[in-house]
Structure 1
C-alpha cells in the first residue's frame, strides 16, 4: 500500500495542497471522531495511532476500547474512499504523528484517469481490508467463546 500510495502522491497532477495535505498531531490528540461525516482517508507517514471503538455497557456507561494500533505505512478512514460517510471509529495519536489526509474525490478522479495505478491501489486496499476482516472475525469468535463460557451457556451447546 505504501509504495503505490507514494507513487500517486508524487504525481504532479495529484498535488499537495489541492489533492492532499500533511497534518501533524501531538500524542493524545484526536484525529477523527466516530460518527462525524468524512470525505478523506488518511495515511500514517510517521508515528503511531490508535483506533477506538465505542460501546455502552450497563447503566449507560460509555467506554472507548482500543480496537487496534496503526504504525507508519498504515491507512485508515478508507470507509470514505468513494464519498462522504460517517466515521465508524475514532482515531487518536499515540505518539506525535504526521498524517497525510487525502481527498477521496480527488483520489477517485486520479484512479479513474490512471487505471494501472488505480488497479494497484485498489488491490492493495483490498489486501488491507481482508487482513482487517480476518482479525475482526478472530476477535468475534474469541469474544463469543468467552461470553458463552462466562455465562455458563457452553454446557447447553
Structure 2
C-alpha cells in the first residue's frame, strides 16, 4: 500500500517544483544535518536512509550512532510540519535513494484546503509517530534498567 502522500503527487493543485520535488542521493550522502532549519518532509521512494544522532560524551567527545534505518514508503522529517524548529537528528543515505521532498508550509496549506486527503496523510503520520514513540519508550526503559543494574541501584528499589 502506498503512503497517502503519493496521491498528492498527481493532484493538479499540488505542483512539482513549487510544492514538492524529487531528489536523488548517493550512498553516504547527507540528506540533512542536525541543527539545520526544518522546512521539508521527505517520503522515501527507493533506498534506505539512516537517522543519526550526535551524542556528546564526557570531555566534549562526540559519537554519532545510527538510531534507525528507514526504507521505501516511510517518511522522515515530519516534525517540520508541526514545530518548524531545527532538525533534531541527521539523516544519511545508506544506499542510493530517491526521495520526494515536500515543502512543509505548502503541504499544510494544501491539506487544510483538502481535509479528506489531509486526514489520511495526518493519520498515517500520527500512526508512524506513535509507533516510533513506543519503540523509543522501550529503548529508554531498557537503558534505564541497564543503568540501574550497572550502578547496583536495582537492589534498593
TM-score, normalised to structure 2, is 0.95
Native 8 Å contact 2:3 2:73 kept in 1? no
- Give unpaired runs (5+ residues) of structure 2: none
Shift of 1:83: 5.7
Native 8 Å contact 1:27 1:96 kept in 2? yes
Native 8 Å contact 1:52 1:65 kept in 2? yes
Native 8 Å contact 1:39 1:83 kept in 2? no
Residue number in structure 2 paired with 1:88: 88
Native 8 Å contact 1:82 1:105 kept in 2? no
Distance 2:72 2:139 in 1: 23
Shift of 1:117: 0.5
Aligned length: 157
Distance 1:133 1:2 in 2: 22
Distance 2:41 2:97 in 1: 15
Per-residue Cα deviation, 1:27-56 (whole angstroms, up to 9, x for no partner): 001111111112111111100000011111
SS in 2 for 1:15: coil
SS in 1 for 2:62: strand
Matches within 5 A, 1:123-142: 123-142=123-142
SS in 1 for 2:4: helix
Distance 1:101 1:3 in 2: 14
Residue number in structure 2 paired with 1:40: 40
SS in 1 for 2:17: coil
